[in-house]
Each structure stands twice: as structure tokens, then as C-alpha cells.
Structure 1
Amino acid sequence: MIMKAFIIYPSYIVEENKTFIQLFGKLENGQSFVSLHEFKPHFFIKTSEVKKVKKYLSKFEVSKTDLTNFDKEPVTKISASLRSDLTKLYRAIHKSAEIYEADLRPHYKFLSDNQIFATMDLEGSYETSEKVDRVYSNPKIKAIQSFDPKLKIASVDIETSSTGQLYCIGIHSQKFHKTFMVTKQKLKSVVPCKSEADCLQKFKTQLLALDPDIITGWNFIDHDLPILQAMFLHNKIPFDIGRSNSIPRIRLESNFFRASSADVSGRIVLDALSFIRDPFIQEAPTIKHSKFESYTLENVSQALLGKGKILKGKDRQIEIDDLYEKNTIASQQKLADYNLLDCKLVTEILEKTKMIPLAIERSNLTGMPINKIGPIASFDSLYIKEAHKRKLVSPTLRFSQKPTPITGGYVQAPTPGLYDNVLVLDFKSLYPSIIRTFNIDPASFLEKPEPGCIQAPNKACFKNTEGILPEIIKKLHEARESAKKQKNELANYTLKILQNSFFGVLASPNCRYFNMDIANAITHFGQFLIKLTAKEIQSKFNLKTIYSDTDSVFVDTELSKQKANALGSKIESHINEFYKSYTKEKHNRQSNLELEFEKQYIKMLIPQLRGQEEKAAKKRYAGLVEKSGKEEIEITGLEAIRGDWTDAAQEFQIELLKKLFHEEKIESFIQEYIKKITQGKLDSKLVYRKSIRKALDEYTKTTPPHVKAARKLPKLDSKIIEYVLTTDGPEPISQIKHKLDYKHYIEKQIKPIANQVLSLFDKDLDEVLQGSKQATLF
């Protein structure tokens, strides 16, 4: 019987000097499975270089192929029973011969060879085992369209004393919600345990019985899992919590910007804290509008769920110890409830944000496990598979230094001022469209021009064919359009992020296809096209582009709202037809460039640079738009959306912009707002929030205000420091001992914002506060 299967955990093992691929996962009937496939690890070398290294190849299987490298040179396959033997061979010959795909792990090589992403048809006989429902040996497998697996999740949390004594271990899953506690009390949702060893054994037995596909928790990999591992070792209990008898491997990272990882055979270990901080997750539609003061479980759950932990604050460890040591039914019940709620909050956060469906969606698209959502690994998986379809092998990954930063998108110097009815036209997915239109592709890259090739503005050249990367993006684009029609928001988002990540991947030295000429070809084409678009609008419609930024142009119409709106559609249509003709005539190719009339700013402010008339900062503006009949202010780069400005400054700017755009009186509003500050009515909105990026004693050359405030705290409980500026300098909000320095807030927070607007009328804040006799604004 054929079963649909979703791969959760691909790996390989060595038995009797043979390599076996292990694919753990979930079947469509809800059962767990592992399929075992005998496999010979291999890499490729150029056929012309085989003779040079022949003396090293006597113990290896050497076979001809119909494959080539990107330069169409034939390659030979070198195979061995063990990857370790191939690694030794690589070290011996890599300086003498060009080697391909030597870094790929056997399980990813196997999946690539079979064109399998995350799902497959599985056919063959099977046996059962203690930890897996079905064990297949060399079954028939076939890549299929994705399906939605029903994965089981177990959220785990431990509580210990300040000295490391185990109190309890909680598990929350769909069908189980209990904590294992070392206690003699009879408590609700508690499995009583006689000792630490008894607690660990009962926890392990239950976890294996639940057989989760995903084990999660908050800060689970950096905190709970290493503690559990040490306790199991101390009590001489095997810590085999996976779907085999192997022991978990934990890699802890001290670098704040790199996530720790854990390897538990057959399962995914997903630290919800690390996951929610990943850029792919943070920009997801289910979470992008949420704001967290910090990434503590308390703050994140309050922001997303509207509820939080039972015990809170910096002294909760003291309270935990006290609850356990009191040894009463009431006290230990509260500790158990606290432990289980922490487990449940993590599960609810995952459900609320749809993080698991998002990760599954990406896994189905890229073929990478759901906890490996990085763009480079995703690009690798997609590109290697598509290259194999075309009988091409890819380079071995070799880290290299990036010689110079990549060229950015074109940003036109804006003209400061207050504008009416500005049209904003935006290229949809500009960089992916450029890749498709001009065949920007590693396998199509040419070291020097040849007849009929495409030459980018940076002089990089590409074959005028349909390359691998354009084909990948085409498929992703078609899938995204389908997702839009089906109103599948998660798929739409995943496909969008995936497409847009490819440009950055090509500029990363950690990518096997890293090439600055290729990456810069994309941005140089982008600069060229945005300038050409502004030129064509000027030529055809006699309209000035007052600003452009990477993929957008801002056109000053000097028309009424209705006429400007109609003109926006005309410009969109004309430019798209223009590029169809341009790419056909210039390169005999089809244009995939699509300019869209995105919106009209009824009013738009581009503030001038402080102290510099006639000049404006790039990427800083605000506009008034109408959406569904309602007005809304959109802000880019200004203080109202920046986290390093106070709530008062942000509130002040938004209200000031409303009055400016509606031609209401400004002076009286400014005066009244400043009056509220000096009267102490806005003290709660004068709090600064800034992150500590390293240990306090490492700040030696300079001491920023938030560090000065942090050093006044008895204990540092968060990386986010909340402080105010007082007459005695920065003070943390929990230790305010002096009056707030209102003059500082007016000078540093209010004045710069006020002057952005007042300068439009040749005024400044000092004049307004002095009661200038000049005409009031509006």
C-alpha cells in the first residue's frame, strides 16, 4: 500500500561499514515512520582531472556520468561506502582537482538525487519497533505534491531550585497536561515522584508514549534541555528521548546573534524563543504587528495572548523556592500550576502565530526540515535539485571573504517640502523580476562576453537562455499567484519571502554560488531601471519624480485628487508596455517587470535635513492616504516609528502631522504639548528603551545613557533597559531619585520634530515659544 509521507528529520547512520539514509517522519494516517535506504556517498570531479589524482582513487568507485559543471565540462562520480573516506580523499586532492558537491551530507544528497522535497509516496513492507510505528527498509519512494501533516507537539518546562535541585518537569500536549513533581502531596495534574531519578524516568516514559514530532519550550535549548541532559547523566538514566537509542546532541552558542541547536533523532527540537526571533517568523502576517518590550515569555505572551505567567518579576526564583519548601498542598499546587501554565503559554503562542504551519509551508517549498528556515539552506536545496534536472552539478561550498559591500538600490536625493497628490508607483518584486527578465543565474554567468549574451550595467554577462534561478523564481511566482487566488495568506507570505531572499543569498560568502558580480548585476539593473522609469515618466507625461527609492518612484502631479488618481493608472499601463518593448528590442526577451500604481499621498511631507536648507534625508517621509474611505498617516524613517524615541515624541509627531496635513493650527498645539511636559503630565511617556548588547563591564570606551542607567540597577534582569533622563543623569524607572530633566526632553525629543514642520514656514521652535508676532500657521 502506498502512503503519503512527510519528512520531519532526515539523517544517516553507518552500520557494518555501510551508509544508510534515515528518513523519519509522519504518514498520512498519523503514524510515525522511518525509512532506511542503503546509499553510497559521492562527489564529482572534472573528468579531465581524473588522471591527475588517479593514485588516490584505487579504493573508490569511479564512474562516468552524463553530468557536467556549469561550463559544460564532463564530470566523473567518485563514490565510497563511508562519507569519512570521501572526506579524507577530498583533503588529499582538493588542491589538485576541481571537486563538486563534496560538502553535501549524505541524506541531503539522497533527497536531491531523488528530487524529493518534504513529502513523498512510500511503498513497501514494514515492521514495527518500540519507538517508531513503521520501519521501512529500502522502500520505493517518489516525490509528490505537498500535503498537510498532523504533527504532534509537546511543550516542556522544568522548575529547579536556585542550587539546581529538580522540583518538577511539565509536559503540555493535545492529550496530556501534567507535571512530574518530586513530592508526597496529592495534587491536581501532578504525577508524584519519589526522587529526582523517579521524576526523570517517569517524564521520559511519558514523553516516549506521547511520541511528539516536535518538542518545544521557551529558551528550551539553552536552558531546560542541557539541565535535563546533565540530570539524566548524573542519575545514570539513558537520555534517549528520540525515535532511536541515540543520545541528543546539543550545540550551545554564546553569540547572541546565533541560535543554539539540539539534535534529537526522529524529532524536531524547536526553541520557541529562538524561533519567534527569526526574521522569517517576525515578518509573518500573524505576528509582524505585535510589539514586545522584551522576549521574555511574560512579555511575549502578554502581547500575543493578553495573559501571562503566574509568577513574575526578578524575585520569582525566591518565590519558587518558597512554594516548594513550604511543602503544603496549596503552595506546591501553585508551583505545579505555574509550571504547567508556562508549558501551555508556549503552545498557545505557537498556535496564535501559526509558526508551525508557516514552517511546514516553507519545508514543503524548499525541502529543508521545519527548524531549518535559513535562506541559504533553502536556496541550496532548490537550486541543486533544479540543476540536477538539467544534468548539472554544483560547486563545493568554500567560504571566501566578501571583497567589497554589495551595491545598494538607487535612492534619489529627495526634494524637501509639503506636496499635494503625489503618486507612488512600485515595481512588484523588483529583484526577482530582474532575475527572470535578464537571466541572472549562477549557471548562466559568463566570465567574458559572447555574441547574443546579456550584459548588465556592471558589465557582468549572462547567457541569453532560460537559466536555473529564473526557472525557480517562475515556479515560485506561479505558486504565489495561486496562493493569492486561494487566499492562502501563509503560503503567499512564505513564497514572497523566499523569492526576495535569493538576491541576498548570492551576496553571501556562506553560499556555494557566492559571486559579487552576479549579486551586483541585480542591483545595478535595479538602479538602471528606476532611473529609466523616472526619465520615461518625465518624457511622456512631463512630470517630475521628487523621490525614488530602490523599487519605487514618487511623482508630483500638481493635479486634483481625482485627476491624479486616474493619471496613476495611465502611468502604470504605459511603463509596463514600455518595458515589454524595451526588453524585446534590446535582448529579445520577455519582460517580467511590472510597475504598479500603489497609492496616492493626498499630502506628503519630505522634511529637510537639520540645519541644511534645500536638502532632505533619504528614506524619511510621511504621507496621508485614503484606505477604504478612511484617512491614514503612513510614516517611513521618522521618529514616530523608531524604537529609540520616547512615546511622547512619537505621539507628538503623529498629532503634529495630522494638523499639518489638515491645515489646522500648529503653534498652539506645540505650545500646549510642551506645557504638558513641563507640568509633569506626560512623565509616563518620557521613558527611553534601549537594549544592552554586551556585558556592562565591556562598555569601556564610551558609556551610553542606558548603560549608565543599567549600572544603577541592583540586578540586571532584562536586556531591555527602561530609563529616564533626570537632573542627575540617566536613572532606571525602578530607581528614579531625581526630577525629570524636562529641558532635555524638549531640546532632544520635541524640538527636532517640531522644526521639521516649522521650517516649511520659515520658523523654528524657539520663535514659537517666544511668542513670535508673525502670522500664525494656517
Structure 2
Amino acid sequence: MAQHQHLFSSNFFFFLERGTGGSLLNLSFWVLDVGQKTGRNPRVLLWGIDDKGRRVLVFDTFTPHIYVVPKPSVSVDSLLNTVKLSSIEASPITSVEVVERRLLGKPVKCIMMSFDDPDYSNQYVRKLERIPGVEGCFEADIRFYTKYLNYTGVTPCCWHTVKASPEGGDHYDVYVAEEHPKPLGEERPPSLKLLGFKIDVYSPTGSMNPEIDPVILISTVTGEGVVRQFEADGHDDREALRSFVSYVSEYNPDVVVGFYSNFFDLQYLANRAKHLGIKFTINRDGSEPHISVYGHVSIVGRAHVDLYDVASVLPEVKLKTLRNIADYLKVKAESPRVSVDLTQLPRYWDNPSLKGKILESSYHDSELLLGVAEKLLPTAVSMSQVSGMPLDQVMRAGVGFRVENMLMREAHVSGELVPARGERARQPYVGGYVLEPRPGIYRDVAVLDFASMYPNIMIKFNVSPDTYVPPDENVRDNDVYVAPEVNHRFRKEPPGFYKRVLEKLLKVRREIRERMKKLSPRSQDYLLLDERQRAVKTMTNAVYGYCGWTGAKWYLRQVAEATAAWGRETIKKAIEIAKNHELKVLYADTDSVFINNIPEKVEAFSREVESSLGLEIKPDKVYVKVFFSGAKKRYAGLLEDGTLDIVGFEVVRGDWPEIAREVQEKVVEIILRSENVEEAVNYVRSVVDVVAAGQIPLEKLVIWETLTKSPEEYKVKAPHTVAAARLIKAGGRLEAGSKIGYIITRGSEKISDRAYPYSLVKPEEVDTEYYITNQVIPAAMRVLEHFGVKEEVLLRKKTAKQAKLI
């Protein structure tokens, strides 16, 4: 998303307003990026690609406005003159009009007040809310271009047609819209020029400070697979930066992708260029990138997509690195895989015989980046289309914001006012029901999931903020649904806002899937529609989570609480039905049940659940074997295709060192594949021996933590805060959100006092006893303790046979 207020002179905009270019024509174009120019006579900027493959910029007009709702005892007409007299000289009121809208389902007469400059929205709210007869102001906290998209129906990543006059342009064609663009209903995107990039920074301290540490290598890859690398001259990166900027301008990509580029790569390049006095002008209009809404880095006129953000849709990959994502997506590079640990990068760069390894590793990762982009970009495009958010911000925004943007668009269509976002304390409520498993290994286990359980509950019982009936309101029992346990009531009629939106989403998904049946599964249209239906499904399922988010504009605790209560009732009834079919329920969690896999009984169970509960339950997966630890959301299974599915263990967490994750995953694999406890014990012992001998690479011992606030704000000493302080003292720079990697060293002090940044630690300084006792053994024991194994066995204080393992 681009927001820029001073990229063009006021004379240029005057020229556009007059429309002195060519005659009107019908322009078909695909919306790539959206921006705004605020001030008097504001403009929305639509960057895109037309049906002839030319890059275009379309200027459109839109009138800023807010809604003023009177108090119940006040006539809306009596407020008109008072509102008119509230005009601010710098942004005069241009019109006031009495309109009918709905507020949380209730009809209201309100004043639609239009004015010149959207930047004055909040000032108008403060002024108007001081008027005695005003109940409140609405839609003042919605960004100008967002309101434009919602009201006009213009959708990012979709084709539109518009009557417009051409106004010239050099690197892109400029048009002024005569009227708002209209959707064409075409999903297939144009041919987009893609450029991927990644950087390597020379940082002996490991903190990567752009005022100190040079960018020694910038690797790029085009959509055609051409890799180009810009290499620093020793530690002088000025020419590499200049060449990269020139290359971006020459290649002129539509989409720029990176991995962790919102948080690191792009900001580092921009800050490094600024420090060196180099213009980092990679925006399509010749300006420099900037941090915009949701913390994404905006490249004006192009879509900057951080694939790390898109990878959030892959919960199966717990530790999200580029290579882990590539492995999961089965992306292969043509070049051989070369690995250079970050801790060793400065040493490799300074050694002519090793320097080539850095270039080879980065080259390989660039190829992976392209492959991952090809797999994940369709997801981002589809999510942009469904939510209505611009491509470069949709995956950076939280799920709640995506849902909310979609709801705001639907609200306008149905004449609903968008509530203001309020500040609320978190109000906890009871979530899903969990039947905890008994520890052990089980064979042939089927997992069945309710299909979109929460959305279907919300539809079935008309659960919505506008249908909620407060306790003190009298209504007939037959007119309401009553949630179990919590007794919240919801009107049966009329259909609530959430119900209407969810039914529409489910209908859209059904229609997409019907269209897919007529296509070859290998066709491009089929693949695009498949991504679209998955995006619709994701958004549908996310509505329940949204309604429990205290930051939501449509937040109402009772909605989330009641839906969860109906969910608990549903899963409990499903468990009883399973027992009636002589199926043993091993584990149940929220919307899924784990039962012994007897196909004919499982099928009969599914049919009865659907007929008696009115909700569809489907087989999700079958485990050949599954190991339950006894705790909820902590199990590991062996699937029919031979892959491991691990949930809740340290192996899926990012705050344990690689050695601990490696040990635990291997122990789980041995237990599930061979069920040989002695083999698992011997494996752990071998790792203990290697760690004790100091033969484990340092990078496998690094513990990574994220700083939730700036280092100086921490009052309590913890290992990662102590390591952060030491890194800063050594010349590093850290802030809230930075990751700190540390190693525990030898010594007699407290553990936190022995935490040092990994870049400052030598192999002989590692406290191997700490890693054995606090990392390797606990990770293994999370699994092996359930098979009677004691720590002393792993530490060779007892033999396996003495422990009666065989």
C-alpha cells in the first residue's frame, strides 16, 4: 500500500483536475497497489496493469465523510444547522444530508457530513461530539483509501473497467477517472514481473547495525529465474547498493518479494543507504520506500510481499525459515545446497578461499525464494481479493484486520454503520472442550473434524452482535435461541449481520467449487479457483476468532462466549454418539475427535452426527500410530504416507536450541516407527556424549528469543535480556521485536549471568553440562518418561536393562 502526500506538485494535481489530456476512453486494468493524496480535493491513486500489459496509474476522486448519530431523544433535523455551523476553515464542510442507516441492526436516522480534507476527520469528531445532542460519530477512523475501496467496490488484485482521460506519463501511463472503476469479474491476474531479493550483512557482533555493518551481498532473482548478485568491495557496500537501486529501476518489477523483508531486509537496505547518503529510490514513482500501515514496508506503485508473512498460512511449519518453508512446499533449487551459518559469515567473507561459499549459499536461497514465491503468491492474491485489502499489506495485517476489512465492505453494501474501535480490557471466557488422552501409543486412529463448526453454529443460532438480547430485555422464549451454560440469548429473526456474511461466504465457496468441477485439476483456472476457495474458507473460519478479539469494531464478548458454549455442547454430544457406535474416543479437542479407525462404524458415526446435530463432520487424517503424552494439544503421529505429524512438543517451538528439537524429533520417530525404547535411549546417550565432548556445532546450541520491549525496559534479568545488554555494549543495536541468539557459557554464576550473544562465544567456552541437563535430557524425557525411562538411564547412571525397559 502506498500513502504519499507530496510526491507530485500541486500544479500537477491542478492539471489532472482540469483533465486537459486526451479524450475519454474505456480502460481495463488490474489493481496492483493503492495509495492516496490527502489535503484539499484528495485523490485515490490506483496503480495497475492494463489489458495490453502497460503499467498505469489511475487517479480517482472521493469525498471524505463521516456519520453523525443523534441521541435517541433528539431529532436528526434539529441537529442539521448545528452540524453545518461546525465547519473548519482549513477543511470546510461541503454538504450535510439526512440518511437512513442501521447501527448494530437497529434503524437510525443520521447526518452524512462531507468535507474537503480527510486528514481533518478526527478534528471534526472531537468538535461534533461536544454538541449536546450528538450520540456519536462513525466511520471517521477508517483510512481514506480504505473507505474509497469499500464504498466503490474497487477490489485489489481484480480487473476493473473505467472511463478515463489519458494524461501522458513516461515510465507508466497516467489516467484521470471520469467515474469510479467497475469490476469486470475476471480472476486471472495479468503477467506480473517479479523480483525476489535477499541480503547478507557483515556483522561480527551479530546485531546488524546499518550505521556500522555493511551489506556485503544483495542477491536477486527474476520471475524468469535469472539470479544476479551485487557484491560489496570488501567492506565497502556503496557501489553494491547503487547498482541494486539501478537494477530495480531498470527491471521495473510489479511485485517485489523477500523473506522477513518487512522486518529486516528492506528496512536495513533503506537505513544503510541513508547512512551512506545514497538515494534508495526503488519506488515506481522515483521516491523511497516507507513503513506504512500494519508495519509493512511500502514500495509505491509495486507490491512488496514478505513471504514470511504469507507463510503464516502454513501452521504445519513451526520454525519458519526460508529453507524449512521450501522443504515443506517441495521447492527445489537447481544449484547445490550450501550452508553458511550466520555466526561464521564474517570469517568466511574475510577468507578468500571461503568467500565463495557465501555467494553459493545466497544463490541457492535466491532460487528457493523464487520457488516459494510461485507457491505462495497465489495465496496472497486470493486473500487480497476476498478481504479487499491491498496485496502488499493483506498478509502482514493480522487475521482480525483481514476479517474486519471484509466486514466493513459488507456493512456498506447492507447499509450498516461501521462501529468505532474501542479500547477494552481483555475479557476471558471458556473456550473449546478438551477430552484429555491417556498417555501411550495407539494404533489405527482416525481424526474427524467438524467442517467449519463455529461458522455453522453462528448461522444455525443466528449469533451476531445485532441479534443479542440483553438480560433486562423482555422477549418471548420462542423468539430466541439460548446458549447452553452461559444463557446468552439471540433473536431468531431477522438474520443477523454475521449470519448474512457467513451465508454469503459459504455460498461463494460452493459456487467456486462447482466451477472447479468443470475444469481440469491441472489447468491454471482450476488452480486459481482453488486458491480462491481456500481463502474464502480461511476467512469464514476466522470470523469466530474475530468476534472474540477485544480490538474488533464489532466486538461483543457474549457472541464469542455463546458460540464457544454451543461448540462445547456439540463436541460432547459427538463423543456420546461415538460411544453409542462402540467407538473409543481417545482424545477430543474443540472441533475434532480421535477415535479407533473402524471404517464402517466411523461412517455410521459421521452420518448420525450430521443428522442429529445438523453439522457436517469429516475424516481429516488417519494415524498408523499416535503417541499421546497425556496433556492436551501435545501428541505425535505417524501418518499413512510415512510422515511424522508433531503437535505441541519442543520440536515445533522456536525458543529451544536446534539440538533439543533435533533430539526430540528423532526420539519421537524411533518410538513411532520401531517402538524400540532401548534404541531411543541409546540414541540420546550418543548425543549426550557428543555434546559433552564439545563436538556439536555452535549454531545448534544457540537459543533464540524475541525481545518484547526495548532491552533497557526489562527490570528482571533473564538470559536473553542479559545477552542483549552484552551485545549492545559490544556495539550491537537491538530494539523491541529484535531476535537475540545466545549461548550459556561455563561458570559458577547464575544461568542468566552466563548468557552471551552467540557471536561472542568460542566453542571451548560452552557449558556443555547445561545443554545436557537443561536441553537435551528434558527434550528427550518429554517423550521417554511415558515409557518408564528415568533421567539416570540417559545419563548412564543405570543401564537400560536395570531400568526394565526390555
Do both share a fold (TM > 0.5)? yes
1:669 to 679, 682, 698: 679
> Could you tell me which amino acid in structure 2 is paired with residue 123 of structure 1?
K
Say yes or no: does 1:107 pair with 2:129: no
Equivalent-residue separation in structure 2 for 1:509 and 1:754 (angstroms):
41
Question: Post-superposition shift, 1:568?
Answer: 0.6
Say yes or no: does 1:693 pair with 2:706: yes
Say yes or no: does 1:454 pair with 2:481: yes
Equivalent-residue separation in structure 1 for 2:720 and 2:273 (angstroms):
39
Tell me the number of residue pairs that the alignment of Structure 1 and Structure 2 aligns.
702
Which residue is 2:29 aligned to? 5
Which residue is 2:606 aligned to? 572
Identity of aligned residues (%): 19
CA contact (8 A) 2:56 2:173 kept: yes
Change (3 A) 1:675 1:289: closer
CA contact (8 A) 1:424 1:598 kept: yes
Say yes or no: does 1:528 pair with 2:569: yes
Which residue is 2:393 aligned to? 372
Deviates more, 1:418-427 or 1:173-182: 173-182
Equivalent-residue separation in structure 1 for 2:200 and 2:441 (angstroms):
58
Which residue is 1:359 aligned to? 380
Question: Post-superposition shift, 1:224?
Answer: 0.6
SS at 2:49 equivalent = strand
SS at 1:72 equivalent = strand
SS at 1:265 equivalent = coil
Which residue is 1:349 aligned to? 369
Deviations 1:248-276 (A, max 9, x none): 46239xxxxx9743344323344x4xx41
Which residue is 2:12 aligned to? none
Equivalent-residue separation in structure 2 for 1:7 and 1:550 (angstroms):
40
CA contact (8 A) 1:725 1:744 kept: no
Which residue is 1:506 aligned to? 547
Equivalent-residue separation in structure 1 for 2:452 and 2:124 (angstroms):
44
Which residue is 1:736 aligned to? 764
CA contact (8 A) 1:476 1:499 kept: yes
Change (3 A) 1:171 1:551: closer
Question: Post-superposition shift, 1:434?
Answer: 1.9
The correspondence of residues 260-659 of structure 1 with structure 2, limited to 5 A, is 260-270=295-305, 272=306, 275-276=307-308, 278=309, 280-284=310-314, 288-289=316-317, 291=319, 305=333, 313-314=342-343, 316=345, 345-346=365-366, 348-353=368-373, 354-373=375-394, 374=397, 375-396=399-420, 398-416=421-439, 419=442, 422-447=445-470, 448=473, 450-451=475-476, 452-457=479-484, 458-464=486-492, 465-480=494-509, 482=512, 485=517, 486=521, 488=527, 490-538=531-579, 540-541=580-581, 545-555=585-595, 564-580=598-614, 593-601=615-623, 603-607=625-629, 616-623=630-637, 627=640, 634-638=645-649, 641=652, 644=656, 645-659=660-674
Which residue is 2:4 aligned to? none
Which residue is 1:588 aligned to? none
Which residue is 1:189 aligned to? none
Which residue is 1:64 aligned to? 98
CA contact (8 A) 1:18 1:81 kept: yes
Question: Post-superposition shift, 1:754?
Answer: 2.5
2:175 to 128, 132, 135: 135
> Could you tell me which amino acid in structure 2 is paired with residue 596 of structure 1?
K
The correspondence of residues 225-264 of structure 1 with structure 2, limited to 5 A, is 225-229=270-274, 231=276, 234=277, 241-244=282-285, 247-248=287-288, 250-251=290-291, 260-264=295-299
SS at 1:691 equivalent = strand
Equivalent-residue separation in structure 1 for 2:720 and 2:145 (angstroms):
51
CA contact (8 A) 2:166 2:173 kept: no
Which residue is 1:211 aligned to? 252
SS at 2:53 equivalent = coil
Question: Post-superposition shift, 1:496?
Answer: 3.4
Question: Post-superposition shift, 1:772?
Answer: 6.4
CA contact (8 A) 2:445 2:594 kept: yes
Change (3 A) 1:720 1:477: farther
Question: Post-superposition shift, 1:534?
Answer: 1.9
SS at 1:442 equivalent = coil
Equivalent-residue separation in structure 2 for 1:547 and 1:310 (angstroms):
41
SS at 2:391 equivalent = coil
CA contact (8 A) 1:689 1:721 kept: yes
Gapped regions of structure 2 (runs ≥ 5): 1-24, 88-92, 203-210
CA contact (8 A) 1:214 1:269 kept: yes
Equivalent-residue separation in structure 2 for 1:766 and 1:347 (angstroms):
44
Equivalent-residue separation in structure 2 for 1:158 and 1:606 (angstroms):
42
Say yes or no: does 1:149 pair with 2:171: no
CA contact (8 A) 1:409 1:549 kept: yes
Deviates more, 1:699-708 or 1:370-379: 699-708
Which residue is 2:44 aligned to? 21
Deviations 1:255-312 (A, max 9, x none): xxx9743344323344x4xx41x2x423349xx5485579999999999757578987
CA contact (8 A) 1:35 1:138 kept: no
TM-score (norm 2): 0.73
Deviations 1:574-621 (A, max 9, x none): 1101123xxxxxxxxxxxx211234555655444xxxxxxxx422233
Which residue is 1:116 aligned to? 154
> Could you tell me which amino acid in structure 2 is paired with residue 459 of structure 1?
N
SS at 1:535 equivalent = helix
Gapped regions of structure 1 (runs ≥ 5): 184-192, 253-257, 324-329, 581-592, 608-615
Say yes or no: does 1:30 pair with 2:47: no
> Could you tell me which amino acid in structure 1 is paired with residue 150 of structure 2?
S
Change (3 A) 1:697 1:577: same
> Could you tell me which amino acid in structure 2 is paired with residue 518 of structure 1?
V
Say yes or no: does 1:84 pair with 2:126: no
Say yes or no: does 1:757 pair with 2:787: yes
Deviates more, 1:124-133 or 1:728-737: 728-737
Which residue is 2:22 aligned to? none
Deviates more, 1:728-737 or 1:524-533: 728-737
Change (3 A) 1:263 1:699: closer
Question: Post-superposition shift, 1:528?
Answer: 1.7
Question: Post-superposition shift, 1:571?
Answer: 0.2
Equivalent-residue separation in structure 1 for 2:534 and 2:578 (angstroms):
31
Equivalent-residue separation in structure 1 for 2:425 and 2:715 (angstroms):
30
CA contact (8 A) 2:162 2:182 kept: yes
Question: Post-superposition shift, 1:144?
Answer: 2.9
Question: Post-superposition shift, 1:726?
Answer: 7.5
Deviates more, 1:300-309 or 1:47-56: 300-309
Aligned-residue RMSD, C-alpha = 4.9
CA contact (8 A) 1:159 1:169 kept: yes
Change (3 A) 1:767 1:157: closer
Equivalent-residue separation in structure 2 for 1:322 and 1:601 (angstroms):
50
CA contact (8 A) 1:755 1:764 kept: no
> Could you tell me which amino acid in structure 1 is paired with residue 311 of structure 2?
I
SS at 2:475 equivalent = coil
Equivalent-residue separation in structure 1 for 2:96 and 2:765 (angstroms):
78
Equivalent-residue separation in structure 1 for 2:555 and 2:409 (angstroms):
18
SS at 1:701 equivalent = coil
Question: Post-superposition shift, 1:62?
Answer: 0.8
> Could you tell me which amino acid in structure 2 is paired with residue 99 of structure 1?
C
